[in-house]
Amino acid sequence: MSPKKDVPPCLLNLDKPPGPTSRTVVDRVVRVTGCRKVGHAGTLDPLATGVLVVCVGRATRLVPFVQQLPKRYRAVFRFGLTSPTDDVDGPVAELPEAPVIDESRLRAVLPAFVGRIEQVPPVYSAVKIDGRRAYQKARSGRTVLLAPRTVTVYDLRLVRFHYPDFELEICCSGGTYVRALGRDIGKSLGTAAIMVSLTRTAIGPFRVEQAVRPEGLQPEAWQDHALPPAAAVPHLRRFEGDETVLRALRHGQAVPMDRLRPLPPPILDWAPPGWQPPEDVSAVFDDAGRLVALVRHQRWRFQPCLVLD
C-alpha cells in the first residue's frame, strides 16, 4: 500500500502473539495504515505476548507519555535452569545440584523485590552501550557489563507454585526487565531461574482484554480500532482553552494559567498504590474534547512542550 499523508494521529491497543518481534508488529501497522510514521511504546520480546501500544502519525510524539504508565505482567519462571538470555529463548542449561525450593521460601523472599530496587538488565537486551545494543555485542561474543538501574515494582504476587515452576503477577515501572526479576529471585534463593512465558496484561488503562490481534487489522477497517491521541495521557491533569488560547499554544506561545479552565481530574482506578503521575505537565483540550497540546508549568504560565494539532 502506498504511503498516506492524511492518516489521523491515533493509538492502537494490540495483543501481540508469541513469535514476532515488536518491530514486526509495527511494520504490519505501517502496511495496513499506509502511514510510515508508526512506533510502539514498549518492546515485547518475541517470546512475550500481550499489550503493545502502537502510536500512528503525529501521535508517535506521545510515546514517552505512554511509557510513563505502570505495566502489569503475568510471568512463569522455572527454577534450576540458566540461560544467557534469562529466558527459554537462549541456550538453556541445568544448574548442577540445584536445591529444591519450597513455596514458603519463595514467598519469604518476594517482599525484597517490591519497591525501588536495583536491577541489572539482561545481557541480551536493547540497552545501549557506546551506541550499540547490548544484545548486538553479546551475539558477537564480546563481554557485556551492564550497570544496575533503579526500577520500581509496585506489586508482586505469587499466583501459582508447582516446583520447579512458579507464576507471578507483577506491576512495575517502565524499564523493568521481568526476566531479570526472575533471575534475581532465583539467585536470592541460592539457585537459578529463567522465564518460560510472559504476558503483558496492561499498560495503564490499556488492557489485553480490549486489545486487538495485529492480524485483525485490515486496510479498510483498521480505524475501527483506533483510539484518540488523548488516550496516551490518561494520567495528566486536564485543561480546556478557547480558540484564542489554543491559537497561541499552536504557535509555541506561553499563556497565563488563568486563561485555561480546569477539567475534572483524571480517574486513576487502574493505577497501583504508590504510583504518581507527573505534576509538571498538563494536557490541553479544545471544546470538542480533542487533545491540542501538552504544556509545562512555568511559574504563572503554561509553556507548550508538544503541539499535536
DSSP alpha helix (H) spans, the chain? 22-33, 63-66, 103-109, 134-139, 178-188, 243-250
Q: Is 165 a catalytic residue?
A: no
Q: Which of 202, 89, 166, 170 is nearest to 135 (CA)?
A: 89
Asked if residue 164 has a cis previous peptide bond (ω within 30° of 0), the answer is yes
Separation of alpha carbons 285 and 287, rounded Å: 7
Domains of the chain and CATH, by start: 10-69+205-230 (3.30.2350.10), 71-203 (3.30.2350.10), 233-307 (2.30.130.10)
What confidence score (pLDDT) does residue 4 get?
A: 59
Grid coordinates representing 160?
501459582
Residues of the chain with pLDDT under 50: 1
What confidence score (pLDDT) does residue 147 get?
A: 83
| φ and ψ at residue 197, rounded to 5 degrees | -160, 155
What confidence score (pLDDT) does residue 257 get?
A: 95
Query: Which of 45, 87, 89, 184 is labelled catalytic?
Result: 45
Grid coordinates representing 171?
506491576
User: Is residue 151 a contact partner of residue 119, using CB atoms and an 8 Å limit?
Assistant: yes
Grid coordinates representing 282?
498538563
Summarize pLDDT for 8-67 with one digit per residue, the tens.
Answer: 999 999 999 999 999 999 999 999 999 999 999 999 999 999 999 999 999 999 999 999
